[in-house]
Amino acid sequence: MQTNLIRQCRDRLPYECCGVVFGAVRDGRLRADGFAVVRNAASNPEVSFRFDPAEWVRIHYEAQKNQRTIVGFFHSHPNGSPTPSRLDAEGWDGAGAYWIVGLSGARPEIRVFGRTPEKEWYPIPVKTVPG
């Protein structure tokens, strides 16, 4: 899954790629088994993202219809590290896990975060399912 996610994010360069992550949370562990890209409708997609409203509704409906659970959201940082930015902190309400794909440097990297009630970021360990 991670290789495919990185590929999708690279395919959308120089823009940020965004979408949802499917999976399950069991015994306090996040298990990701897929994702769906949502069109980035931001006015400045090189440095920000915003889900296209109609596409977000469609993907959310399809997830429910197919009994898939959205466990998080992702987006890429085309020219930055996979750490939350100021805009990330302002734009995310803390629901689910927050995946960031950092595409700068020789090796892309994916990091996953949650937030405390005090709005502090913390890393989330993730196990991806092959396939």
pLDDT in tens, 48-105: 999 999 999 999 999 999 999 999 999 999 998 899 988 888 877 767 899 999 998 7
Q: How many angstroms separate the CA atoms of 110 and 5, rounded?
A: 9
Full domain range(s) for residue 70: 2-128
**pLDDT reported for residue 27:** 84
Q: Would you place residue 127 in the very low, low, confident or very high pLDDT band (cuts 50, 70, 90)?
A: low
**How many domains does one find in the chain?**
1
Strands 126-128 and 29-38: parallel
Tokens representing residue 100 in the block: 């960031």
Task: Give 3-19 pLDDT, tens digit per residue.
Answer: 999 999 999 999 999 99
How many angstroms separate the CA atoms of 22 and 34, rounded? 5
- Output the domain CATH number for residue 121: 3.40.140.10
- Please give the pLDDT value at position 95: 77
> Which pTM was predicted?
0.90
Look at residue 129 in the predicted model and tell me its pLDDT: 59
